[in-house]
Chains A and B, each alone.
Chain A
Amino acid sequence: MAGADGDDSLYPIAVLIDELRNEDVQLRLNSIKKLSTIALALGVERTRTELLPFLTDTIYDEDEVLLALAEQLGNFTMLVGGPEYVHCLLPPLESLATVEETVVRDKAVESLRKISQEHSPVDLEVHFEPLVKRLASGDWFTSRTSACGLFSVCYPRVSSTVKAEIRQHFRTLCSDDTPMVRRAAASKLGEFAKVLELDYVKSDIISLFTALASDEQDSVRLLAVEACVSIATLLPQEDLETLVMPTLRQAAEDKSWRVRYMVADKFSELQKAVGPEITKNDLVPAFQNLLKDCEAEVRAAAANKVKEFCENLPEDNREQIIMTHILPCVKELVSDTNQHVKSALASVIMGLSTILGKDNTIEHLLPLFLAQLKDECPEVRLNIISNLDCVNEVIGIRQLSQSLLPAIVELAEDAKWRVRLAIIEYMPLLAGQLGVEFFDEKLNTLCMAWLIDHVYAIREAATCNLMKLVEKFGAEWAQNTIVPKVLGMANDPNYLHRMTTLFCINVIVHCCGYPYREITTKQMLPVVLKMSNDQVANVRFNVAKSLQKIGPVLDSNALQTEVKPVLEKLASDTDMDVKYFAQEAISVLALA
């Protein structure tokens, strides 16, 4: 490839380096982001001998620039000449892996992990592993922290002597006197365990795990909980009791709520990792305690896991465990003093009905659902309503509808518009579950009221909701129940409501389309055309936009005789925007 190694006359390295040194940070950042272009201009040889040394030695820059650099270098293998030369990238990444800013360091480690895969086993031992060792024994905590993330990528591909060294380094970092380093090591413990031979998992990892899990800092202990999941997955069932469970039991009763929170948060994973026997004997009581914890944070995290935990219980005595051990705690949580706990529970409690079946649901769960539906906190009610489909499958919606309706009406009129928005989003789902009759009777009025809400987002969502309802109930229903009401709003004194008419027409036409050309031409088009005389420009240009959407549905006669004159009139409107949209409609509908 002649000339592929850059062109000296065009791109002297000095010019490029000048770019990387520009006084303006933004320009420096842009240059770094285009580092691959620079490397390409220089060619692989000069990239290796000139650009990389420059980057390694002279870059002292803002973290934002360093972050971009760290990221770029991860994709640089081909630009330095392929895997054979990939180790040239190690020096700049090594110094980036020691900087203070976590984001930069993490990115450098990520890039190092990436290029480690491109090293041959020999290069890995000659170049990569020594770098890891240097980082692991660095003076300042940052380099040691970075080292923690690199052990697992080189371990599987090096000789057994080097492996022993790597294990030793990891051990040292697990008892580092800086808590930042211990945290980094603890967070990588699970990952490292996965690449180790089982014997070493038992001999090395377990003792490290036990030590980290009883660290003096709770921030370290809670990370050990995460590692617990991976470690338990690796060990054979018979070793779990002696090697893992004592530590896990201790974590579930840790004096720091952060650690207990972590246990609650990871509960499903832990449950899967330790298997059914231990779950029955140990995790069930532990879970009960977490559901009754004195800190609301912990209770909420545990409440979130109720469904998953119950689902994964061994089937043979699942029902019995739930009924005698879990349900009593759940009942208490329904009237918890903390609304976050209640709303966490509300988001999963409905899922229990599929597990417990119809009879239990009606007898034990229904009272809880109803209690939560009447909860003072809107979020709790909302969470219940959003999961109605699970119960529907088990007992049918009619059972619930009596108590459901007042709650929905109340949420529909909630003072917080985001609550109203959320309930609108569930309307199509409810409509589908309740059927058209029930809907018309009870909910239709609500849906129409949202169209004239004073918050635009609600009106917009209500319009979109109409579209989904029409999709569900069909065009005939639309013609009978929706269209008259929507068209009535065209004469509303408030121009925002008049515009809503147009928006609704847009979506109805979109759904009903060709098969119902009749409705469009006979009922909706006249209204739209009449609105072109509106005194508010916003209404007029929305008329133009609507016509553009309705046009394709109409026959050519209506287009030519009715739409075209109106659009032409709008195209000569005094308002700039009206003109613009009218012209756009004319050209889209090819009426010019």
Chain B
Amino acid sequence: MRLSALAAQVLDGFSRKSVRKAKQKRSQSSSQFRSQGKPIELTPLPLLKDVPAPEQPELFLKKLQQCCTVFDFMDTLSDLKMKEYKRSTLNELVDYVTVSRGYLTEQAYPEVVKMVSHNIFRTLPPSDSNEFDPEEDEPTLEASWPHLQLVYEFFIRFLESQEFQPSIAKKYIDQKFVLQLLELFDSEDPRERDYLKTVLHRIYGKFLGLRAFIRKQINNIFLRFVYETEHFNGVAELLEILGSIINGFALPLKAEHKQFLVKVLIPLHTVRSLSLFHAQLAYCIVQFLEKDPTLTEPVIRGLLKFWPKTCSQKEVMFLGELEEILDVIEPTQFVKIQEPLFKQISRCVSSPHFQVAERALYYWNNEYIMSLIEENSSVILPIMFASLYRISKEHWNPAIVALVYNVLKAFMEMNSTLFDELTATYKSDRQREKKKEKEREELWKKLEDLELKRGLRSDGIIPT
């Protein structure tokens, strides 16, 4: 389905980016217009402020009904007059729900939801770019934005209006409505996602009965994103909403929420496009840990399990997140995970990619982390020592070597006896490791001989 990208690859693997750069702002429309029909005619109605108050609710409904008409914005020439008329009507409606009182009759609710649904719910068109890269690509903008924006604006004012009664609205803003709303978060247009974020936030705030459902559907979107498609444009926005939802969780945390953390948020780290939503994700994780420090161990173990192996940029992000976690970690939790954690850090410190090494070494500039290391130096120093010692001699980047010297110096000051001991045994330890390695090889050799012998025997070559 990614035709453009595919074709470009077939033709010339190197030209892709430049070709894409060439086209400037693209815009697209939803895929709902199947054929150009006849011109659309709407009968102009009087302004709301020009009719007596008792007649306003009735006129309000009529205007809502008119605004259900959807125009084709890809055709820039058609229905210009009517498009302008709808735009001004929407503007009027926005003002009306903001300032008026007593307009929200019970009959208005279904009409409002109907108008909003007609305008915003649509099948999103296929994406042009293979992988959306915010640094490289211009997002595809929604062509009907002049109307769509006002519809969103109107809907938010409606939800925020003082007269708004969730108990009536819940008949119309139901699970199906929310589900369609969530699907729109895949929109490539960042302006739309921003409005959606506010809309969903308001709905989550006002409709208690929908909360569990919303969380579950977000769950499903994330799981599908991680394990099936790796494509969804609104992950950052949804995480942002979740950040504040998590903030409001009551203690003790429900099992459902913990499961969400471990089975959904942690695996989100494995996605290729992590950089697009990492800040929001890290925020959610830290929120969880501030709520319940006992989750620290599973979280850190999860991050270690998914530690990036080939992508240095991601590794730097992981290190950043880990530092945020360490900033809020309780010393009792720290002790539980220090060993696996520092084994990983020691690998990062000796990464040939200097940004990774540098990011890891910066931990030693963090006072709180330093104090934790100092308290546990007898455990951490032996784990770190070999890597540090080796890099201090052979890393290609002088800045890293300088940082490592500082770290070694800090360790020396913390625990000079242990430090001297490790320095003295460094060589013999390496030799012991080599010997062990040799033993391993021999074991496998023996096992393979055995397999060969068995194989021959079962082939009947060697009689049993």
By a beta-carbon cutoff of 8 Å, the part of chain A in contact with chain B is: 1-2, 4, 10-11, 15, 19, 23, 27, 34, 36-38, 40-41, 62, 100-102, 140-141, 178-180, 183, 216, 218-219, 255-257, 261, 294-297, 300, 339-340, 343, 378-379, 416-419
Beta-carbon contact of B227 and A101 below 8 Å: yes
CB of A345, distance to nearest CB on chain B (Å): 13
A23: chain B residues within 8 A (beta carbon): 343
Known contacts: A40-B454, A418-B12. The answer to whether A261 contacts B1 by CB under 8 A is yes
B13: chain A residues within 8 A (beta carbon): 418
Beta-carbon contact of A418 and B3 below 8 Å: no
Q: Which residue of B lies closest to A15 (CB)?
A: B443
Beta-carbon contact of B3 and A300 below 8 Å: yes
A-B contact count (CB 8 A): 90
Beta-carbon contact of B263 and A100 below 8 Å: yes
Beta-carbon contact of A295 and B263 below 8 Å: no
Known contacts: A62-B305, A295-B31. The answer to whether A180 contacts B125 by CB under 8 A is no
Q: Which residue of A lies closest to B128 (CB)?
A: A296
Cα of A179 to Cα of B224 in the assembled complex, Å: 9
**Residue from A19, A102, A257, A295 within 8 A of B227 (CB atoms):** A102
A343: chain B residues within 8 A (beta carbon): 7
**Residue from B10, B440, B448 within 8 A of A418 (CB atoms):** B10
Cα of A343 to Cα of B32 in the assembled complex, Å: 25
Beta-carbon contact of B11 and A34 below 8 Å: no
Q: Which residue of B lies closest to A7 (CB)?
A: B450
Q: Name B's interface SS.
A: helix
Binary contact track B318-347/A, C-beta < 8 Å → 1, others 0: 000000000000000000000000010000
B444: chain A residues within 8 A (beta carbon): 34, 37
**Residue from A179, A297, A340 within 8 A of B7 (CB atoms):** A340
CB of B206, distance to nearest CB on chain A (Å): 23
Q: Which residue of A lies closest to B454 (CB)?
A: A40
Beta-carbon contact of B220 and A10 below 8 Å: no
B249 at the interface (CB under 8 A from A): no
Beta-carbon contact of B450 and A40 below 8 Å: yes
Beta-carbon contact of B123 and A257 below 8 Å: yes
B202 at the interface (CB under 8 A from A): no
Which of B15, B31, B33 neighbours the largest number of chain A CB atoms within 10 Å of its CB? B31
**Residue from A15, A36, A417 within 8 A of B12 (CB atoms):** A417
Known contacts: A23-B343, A340-B7, A343-B7. The answer to whether A38 contacts B179 by CB under 8 A is no
Beta-carbon contact of B224 and A41 below 8 Å: no
CB of B267, distance to nearest CB on chain A (Å): 6
A419: chain B residues within 8 A (beta carbon): 11-12
CB of A240, distance to nearest CB on chain B (Å): 27
Cα of A2 to Cα of B463 in the assembled complex, Å: 12
A62: chain B residues within 8 A (beta carbon): 305
Q: Which residue of B lies closest to A301 (CB)?
A: B1
Q: Which residue of B lies closest to A338 (CB)?
A: B3
Beta-carbon contact of A10 and B12 below 8 Å: no
Beta-carbon contact of A416 and B125 below 8 Å: no
Binary contact track B34-57/A, C-beta < 8 Å → 1, others 0: 110000000000000000000000
Cα of A241 to Cα of B151 in the assembled complex, Å: 43
Cα of A23 to Cα of B433 in the assembled complex, Å: 13
Beta-carbon contact of B32 and A255 below 8 Å: yes
Beta-carbon contact of B3 and A296 below 8 Å: yes
CB of B436, distance to nearest CB on chain A (Å): 10
Q: Which of B72-109 contact A (CB under 8 A)?
A: none
A38: chain B residues within 8 A (beta carbon): 447
Beta-carbon contact of A37 and B447 below 8 Å: yes
CB of B99, distance to nearest CB on chain A (Å): 37
B135 at the interface (CB under 8 A from A): no
B248 at the interface (CB under 8 A from A): no
Known contacts: A19-B443, A297-B1. The answer to whether A379 contacts B450 by CB under 8 A is no
